[in-house]
Amino acid sequence: MSRDHPGAEPRAPGPSGEPEPWQAFQQAWLDAWAKAMHETVAADEFARMMGRSLDVFLQAWAPLRQMERVLQRSLEGAGLPTRADVLALAERLDGLSRQVEALAGRVDALMGRPRGAARPPAHGRRDRRTRAPQRPVTRKRRAERR
Amino acid sequence: MRSVSEPAAGGGAAIPSSRGAVPAPGSADVAALQQRFVRWQQAVAAAATVPVGRTPRALVWSRDRVRLYRYRGPAPPTYPVPLLLVYALVNKPYIFDLLPGRSFVEFMLGEGFDVHLLDWGSPGPEDRRLGLDDYALDYLRPALEQVRRQAGGAGASVLGYCIGGTLATLYAGAVPAAPIRNLILLSAPLDFTDRGASLFARWFDERHFDVDRLVETLGNVPAELIEVWAQMLRPVENYVGAYLSLWERLDDPAAVESWQAMHRWVHDGVPFAGTAFRQWVVEHVRENRLVRGTCTLRGRPVRLEQIRMPVLLVVAEQDHIVPMRQTTGIVDRLGSRDRRVEVVPGGHVGLMSGRRARREVWPKIAAWLRARSGRPRRPAGRGEGRRGWQERWPVAAQS
C-alpha cells in the first residue's frame, strides 16, 4: 500500500543557507512530535487499539446489516430486485463479457487472424450492425431514382 | 523564505513569512497573513481538481474494470521491447504520470520506450470475490499478452510498483513461460520474514486484526479505511507537515501545483477487493508464503527460482511503507543470473514523484532497461515523420 505526502520533504533553508531560528524551532518541534508519534504507532498497544477500533466500527455496521435484511425481505415481497440480485447480475454480466471475449478469440483463430490484433476494446467499438435509419422513399426520391 | 518586508513573488501585497517576527495585532501584516491563509485554504480545496495524467494515451484493451493504455510519445519508440507499468491495487496509477515535467511516463517515452499502463480500476461490490490469483492471471496475463502482440515482439518489460510488483512477481513465478523480458520491481513488498520491520505487518497481526470479519462485513475494504491506515504510518508528517509544507511554498506556483497533484493522489484511493485483501494479509503479510515457497496461484506453485529473466530491484532508503528488506530479501532466491539492486535515497512515493526521482531514480531505470530492450530502431526518416506517427495513434479519452 503506498500513500505518502510531500510534507515529508526536507524544507528549504533560509537565504543564508542556514535554517532561520523560527524554522529551526518549528522543525525541531515537528521532529520531536513525529518521533513520539512514531513510537506510539509502532507499539503493540497501538496495534491492539486499532484492532479494537475496527471491531467497534464493524459492530456499528450490525444495525445497518439488519436494516438491509429487512429491506431485502420487503423488496422480495414486492417483487422488486434486491441489492444481491443486482450484484449477481453484475457478476453474470462480467462472466458473459468474458465468454464473448473468448468466443471472439476463437473466431479470430478460425479465420486465421492474430488474436485480438485488430479489435479495439469493446466499449470503444462501433457496432457495424447499427446503421443510419433509412429515409422513407418519397415520390420525389422515386422520381430521382428513375 | 522571504523576510517580512520583501514583496510577494506574484507581485501582490507583501506577505509575512511564516517564520518572521510575530506581527502586532491590527497591523497590515495581520491582514496579509489572513490573505495568505485564504490562499492556502483555496489551494488545498483546489487540489481535488488539479489536472493529472496529461500524457496522451489510447485505450487498447479492457476487461471488466481493468483498462490497458498505450501512451503516445513525441516520436515512435526507439526500442522494440515495450514496457508495461503495473501499479498497486489501492491507489490510482496516475502517480506514474503526475504532471508534465514530473511524469515517469513522459520521461520513459522521451527515452524511446513504448510505454503501456495497466489500470486496475476501482472494484465495485460485485468484485469483492476477486483474489490476487484473478488479478495476476485474468488481468495481468492477458494485458501483457496484448502488449506483446501490439509491439509484435516476443515479450515485454514489466515494471511493478508496490503491490503491482508483488503481482508481477507472483505471475512470473507461477508461469515460467510468461512473456516477460525484463522485470523491474519498485519497492515491492515480497518478503515478510521480519514482521516487526513494517507497521502494516504489526497492525495486521492475527492477535489484533480480524481480517475475515472485516471482509465479511464490508465486502471490499473501503478506500477511506486504507487511507487512514496509510496516514497513520506517519501521522505528524501527513496530518501536519504536509499542510505546513504548502504554507511555506505558497508563493511558488509550480510547487503549489505539484503539492496539489500529490495531495489529490494521496486522497484519491480505491477500495481493495475483499478476497484479495484477505489473501494479502493472510498469505503474504502473516504467512510469508512467497518466500517460504508455499504460495500458489490458482493451484500453480509460485517459485522465485523460476523467475529467470533479468530483474532490477529498486528500493528507497527511507521507505517506511515497504522497508527495503521486504523487497531485497528475495534477491538471492531468484533464478535470474542478471539481477541488480538499486538503493536510492528518499521514500516510497519519492521513487515516482520526488524531485530526486527524475534526477536520480528514473535515469537508472532507463539505463538498465535500455541495455535489455533490444537493438534500437533507427530514428524516423522523412516519410515516417512524427506527424505520421501521431496520425496513426487515435487518442482515446484521457481517463
Smallest Cβ–Cβ distance between A3 and the set B125, B259, B266 belongs to B266
Query: Minimal Cα–Cα distance from B308 to chain A, Å?
Result: 27
Q: What is the C-alpha separation between B85 and B369, in angstroms, rounded?
A: 13
> Is B162 noted as a catalytic residue in this protein?
yes
Q: Does A66 touch chain B (CB under 8 A)?
A: no
Query: Minimal Cα–Cα distance from A32 to chain B, Å?
Result: 10
The grid cell for B130 is: 476477486
> Cβ distance B59 to B69 under 8 Å?
yes
User: What pTM was estimated for this model as a whole?
Assistant: 0.81
Q: What is the C-alpha separation between A42 and B202, in angstroms, rounded?
A: 8
* Catalytic hit among B162, B263, B284, B295: B162
Side chain identity at B308, as an amino acid letter? R
CA distances from A133 to A130, A140, A143, B77, B238 (A): 9, 19, 21, 43, 58
> Alpha-carbon dihedral of residues B392, B395, B396, B399, nearest 10 degrees?
150
ipTM confidence score: 0.75
Count of alpha carbons within 13 Å of B173, Cβ hemisphere only? 27
The grid cell for A104 is: 471472439
**Which residues have CB under 8 Å from B212's CB, separation 6+?**
B278
DSSP string, B27-48: SHHHHHHHHHHHHHHHHHHHGG
Helix, strand or coil, per DSSP, at residue B103: strand
Closest CA to B84 of B178, B156, B18: B156
User: Is B62's CB within 8 Å of A116's CB?
Assistant: no
Q: What is the C-alpha separation between A63 and B327, in angstroms, rounded?
A: 42
Beta strands in B162-291 (DSSP E): 180-186
pLDDT per residue rounded down to tens, chain B (399 residues): 333 333 333 333 333 444 444 455 556 788 888 999 999 999 999 999 999 999 999 999 999 899 999 999 888 999 999 999 999 999 899 999 999 999 999 999 999 999 999 999 999 988 999 999 999 999 999 999 999 988 887 899 999 999 999 999 999 999 999 999 999 999 999 999 988 888 999 999 999 999 999 999 999 999 999 999 999 999 999 999 999 999 999 999 999 999 999 999 999 999 999 999 999 999 999 999 999 999 999 999 999 999 999 999 999 999 999 999 999 999 999 999 999 999 999 899 989 987 789 999 999 999 999 999 988 876 654 444 445 455 555 444 343
**Which residues have CB under 8 Å from A12's CB, separation 6+?**
B1, B248
Side chain identity at B208, as an amino acid letter? H
**Which residues have CB under 8 Å from B25's CB, separation 6+?**
none
The grid cell for A119 is: 479489435
Which residues of A fall within a CB distance of 8 Å from B231? 3
Closest CA to A104 of A114, A92, A93: A114
User: Is B245's CB within 8 Å of A114's CB?
Assistant: no
Residue B19: closest CA among chain A residues belongs to which residue? Answer: A22
Smallest Cβ–Cβ distance between A2 and the set B88, B146, B236 belongs to B88
Residue where the block lists cell 436494516: A67
For residue B86, the surrounding DSSP H or E stretch is strand B83-86
